[in-house]
Amino acid sequence: MSQTSALMGFVHRRRRGAELFLLVLALAVGVGAYAAVGIGVEGSVPVDIVSYGGWLTGLVVAAHVAVRFVAPYADPVLLPLVAALNGLGLAVIHRLDLTDGTTFARQQLTWMTLGVLLFIGALVVLRDHRVLTRFTYTFGLSAILLLLLPLVPGVGKTINGAKIWIGVGPFSFQPGEVAKVLLVVAFAGYLVLHRDALALAGRRVVFVDLPRGRDLGPILAMWLVSLGILVFQKDLGSSLLFFGLFLVMLYVATERPGWLVVGSALFLSGALFAWRAFGHVQDRVDIWLHPFKYYNNPTPPFSDQIVETMFGMAWGGLIGRGFGEGDPTRISYAESDFIMGAIGEELGLTGVIAVLLIYGLIVERALRAALISRDGFGKLVAVGLASVVALQVFVVIGGVTRLIPLTGLTTPFLSYGGSSLVANWVIIALLLRISDQARRPIPDLSGQDEEPDEMNTQVIKL
Amino acid sequence: MNKPIRTISMFCLLLFVALMLNATYLQFWRADSLDNDPRNRRVIEAAYSRERGAILVGREPIAESVPSDDRYEFQRTYPIPFKYAPVTGYFSFFSQTAIEQTQNEVLSGEDPRLFVTKLVDLLSNDPNKGGSVQLTLDPDAQDAAYEGLDALPGDVEGSVVALDPATGKILAMVSLPTYDPNKLASHDLDEVTSTYERLDEDPSEPLVNRAIAKTLPPGSTFKIVTAAAAIESGNYTASSEVPGGSTYRLPQTSAESGVIDNEGRDCGTDRIPFAQAMENSCNTTFAALANELGAEAMLKQAEAFGFNSTYLEDLRPQAESVFPEDMNPPETGQSGIGQFEVRSTPLQMAMVVGAVANNGVVKRPYIVDEVQSAEYDVLEKTEDSDLSQAISSSTAADLTQLLVSTVDNGTASPAAIPGISVAGKTGTAQSGIDDVPPYAWFVSFAPADDPQVAVAVMIESADIPRGEIAGGQLGGPIAKAVMEAIIND
Residue from B10, B14, B27, B29 whose CB has the most chain A CBs within 10 Å, to mutate: B27
- Give the C-alpha separation, A37 to A17, whole Å: 30
Chain B residues contacting A via beta carbons under 8 Å: 1-9, 12-13, 15-16, 18-20, 22-24, 26-28, 30-32, 34-35, 37, 39-43, 45-46
Across B256-264, average pLDDT: 81
- The confidence score (pLDDT) of residue B431 equals 75
Digit-coded pLDDT (tens) for A336-390 = 889 999 999 999 999 999 999 999 999 999 999 999 999 999 999 999 999 999 9
Please tell me which residue of chain A has the smallest CA distance to B10.
A364
pLDDT above 80 for A202: no
Query: Kind and range of the H or E element at B22?
Result: helix B2-24
Q: Residue A318 and residue B2: Cβ atoms within 8 Å? A: no
Of residues A113, A110, A109, the one with CA closest to residue A90: A109
Contact by Cβ (8 Å): A400, A406: yes
- The confidence score (pLDDT) of residue A228 equals 80
pLDDT band at A5 (very low <50, low <70, confident <90, very high): very low
- Give the C-alpha separation, A131 to A461, whole Å: 7
- Give the C-alpha separation, A303 to A290, whole Å: 9
Q: What are the residues whose beta carbons fall under 8 Å from the beta carbon of B363, sequence distance 6 or more?
A: B163, B165, B166, B167, B168, B351, B354, B384, B385, B386, B387
pLDDT above 60 for A451: no
Across A258-266, average pLDDT: 83
- The confidence score (pLDDT) of residue B364 equals 95
pLDDT band at A1 (very low <50, low <70, confident <90, very high): very low
Point out the residue among B7, B26, B45 whose CB comes nearest to the CB of A314: B26
- The confidence score (pLDDT) of residue A7 equals 52
- The confidence score (pLDDT) of residue A6 equals 47
Point out the residue among B3, B5, B12 whose CB comes nearest to the CB of A390: B12
Supply φ then ψ for residue A106, to 5 degrees: -60, -45
- The confidence score (pLDDT) of residue A433 equals 95
- The confidence score (pLDDT) of residue A225 equals 79
Question: pTM higher than 0.80, yes or no?
Answer: no
Q: Of the given ranges (A138-147, A200-209, B462-471, B477-486), which has the lowest mean pLDDT?
A: A200-209
Q: Give B68 to chain A, closest Cα distance, Å.
A: 16
Contact by Cβ (8 Å): A359, A427: no
- The confidence score (pLDDT) of residue B180 equals 95
Digit-coded pLDDT (tens) for B406-441 = 998 888 888 889 889 999 999 888 877 777 888 999
Digit-coded pLDDT (tens) for B193-252 = 999 999 999 999 999 999 999 999 998 999 999 999 999 999 998 888 898 888 888 888
SS3 B142: helix
Contact by Cβ (8 Å): A108, A416: yes
- The confidence score (pLDDT) of residue A2 equals 47
Residue from A296, A352, A362 whose CB has the most chain B CBs within 10 Å, to mutate: A352
**ipTM score:** 0.91
- The confidence score (pLDDT) of residue A224 equals 81
- The confidence score (pLDDT) of residue A314 equals 92
Q: Residue B13 and residue A255: Cβ atoms within 8 Å? A: no
SS3 B89: coil
pLDDT band at A173 (very low <50, low <70, confident <90, very high): confident
- Quick check: is B461 catalytic? no
SS3 B161: strand
**What order do you get walking across the sheet with B55-57 strand by strand?**
B74-77, B60-67, B55-57, B132-135, B368-372, B378-381
- Give the C-alpha separation, B156 to B5, whole Å: 85
Point out the residue among B8, B22, B40 whose CB comes nearest to the CB of A248: B8
Burial of residue A457, with CB atoms counted within 10 A of its CB: 0-12 exposed, 13-18 middle, 19 or more buried: middle
Q: Of the given ranges (A264-273, A453-462, B248-257, B372-381), which has the lowest mean pLDDT?
A: A453-462
Q: Residue A353 and residue B23: Cβ atoms within 8 Å? A: yes
- Give the C-alpha separation, B159 to B137, whole Å: 15
Residue from B13, B26, B36 whose CB has the most chain A CBs within 10 Å, to mutate: B26
Q: Where on the phi/psi map is residue A101: left (φ > 0), alpha (ψ -120 to 50), or beta?
A: left
pLDDT band at A208 (very low <50, low <70, confident <90, very high): low
Beta pairing, strands B386-389 & B74-77:
unpaired
Q: Which long-range contacts (CB under 8 A, 24 or more apart) does B275-279 make?
A: B275/B238, B275/B239, B275/B401, B275/B402, B275/B405, B275/B409, B276/B244, B277/B242, B277/B244, B278/B223, B278/B227, B278/B402, B278/B403, B278/B405, B278/B406, B278/B410, B278/B425, B279/B405, B279/B406, B279/B409, B279/B410, B279/B411
Please tell me which residue of chain A has the smallest CA distance to B4.
A252
Residue ranges of alpha helices (H) inside B202-282 are 210-213, 223-232, 274-279
Contact by Cβ (8 Å): B235, B289: no
Query: Kind and range of the H or E element at B380?
Result: strand B378-381
Q: Residue B28 and residue A349: Cβ atoms within 8 Å? A: yes
- B220, B335, B344, B461: the catalytic one is B220
pLDDT above 90 for B12: yes
Instruction: Output the DSSP codes for B269-332.
Output: SSEEEHHHHHHTT-HHHHHHHHHHH-HHHHHHHHHHHTTTS----SS---PPPB--SS--HHHH
Q: Residue B26 and residue A359: Cβ atoms within 8 Å? A: no
Q: What are the residues whose beta carbons fall under 8 Å from the beta carbon of A268, sequence distance 6 or more?
A: none
Digit-coded pLDDT (tens) for B17-50 = 999 999 999 999 998 888 877 788 887 777 777 7
Point out the residue among A295, A371, A402 whose CB comes nearest to the CB of B5: A371
Q: Give A313 to chain B, closest Cα distance, Å.
A: 6
Contact by Cβ (8 Å): B232, B264: no
- The confidence score (pLDDT) of residue A8 equals 55
Instruction: Please report residues of A whose CB lies closer than 8 A to that of B1.
Output: 252-253, 255, 376, 379-380
> How far are the Cα atoms of A147, B135, B248, B250 from residue B257, in angstroms, in the given order?
95, 47, 11, 9
pLDDT band at A455 (very low <50, low <70, confident <90, very high): low
Q: Residue B39 and residue A292: Cβ atoms within 8 Å? A: yes
- Give the C-alpha separation, B125 to A444, whole Å: 61
pLDDT above 90 for B171: yes
